[in-house]
Structure 1
Amino acid sequence: MTSTNTAKNIAEQAAAIATRYLAAWDELDASRRRARIVEVFTPDAVYLDPMARSAGHDGLDAMIGAVQQQFAGLRFRLHGKQDGHNNVVRFSWTLGAEGAEPVAHGTDVVVVADDGRISSVTGFLDALALPA
Structure 2
Amino acid sequence: MEQNELADRYLAVWNEPDATKRRASVEELWTADGLHIVQPTEDVLKEASGLGFTVTFEAQGHEELATRIRLAYEEFVAGGGCTFKRVGTAMRLRDMVKIDWALVDADGTASAAGTGVLLLDDTGRIRRDYQFIA
TM-score normalised over the length of structure 2:
0.81
**Equivalents in 2 of 1:91, 1:69: separation in Å?**
22
Residue 100 of structure 1 deviates from its aligned partner by 3.0
Across the two proteins, how many residue pairs are aligned to each other?
Answer: 115
Residue 50 (str. 1) matches residue 39 (str. 2): yes
What RMSD over aligned residues (CA atoms) do the two structures have, in Å? 1.3
**Equivalents in 2 of 1:78, 1:100: separation in Å?**
13
Residue 99 (str. 1) matches residue 119 (str. 2): no
Residue 99 of structure 1 deviates from its aligned partner by 2.3
Gaps in structure 2 of 5+ consecutive residues: 41-56
Residue among 109, 122, 126 paired with 1:118: 126
- 2:33–2:60 CA contact under 8 A, matched in 1: yes
Residue type at the aligned position of 2:5? A
Q: 1:32 — aligned with what? A: 21
TM-score normalised over the length of structure 1:
0.82
* Structure 1, 68-77 or 27-36: larger mean CA deviation: 68-77
Q: 1:23 — aligned with what? A: 12
Provide runs of 4+ in structure 1 moved above 4 Å.
none
Residue 75 of structure 1 deviates from its aligned partner by 0.9
Residue 20 of structure 1 deviates from its aligned partner by 1.0
Percent sequence identity is: 31
- 2:38–2:131 CA contact under 8 A, matched in 1: yes
**Equivalents in 2 of 1:29, 1:108: separation in Å?**
23
The 3-state SS of whatever aligns with 1:99 is coil
Residue 97 of structure 1 deviates from its aligned partner by 1.8
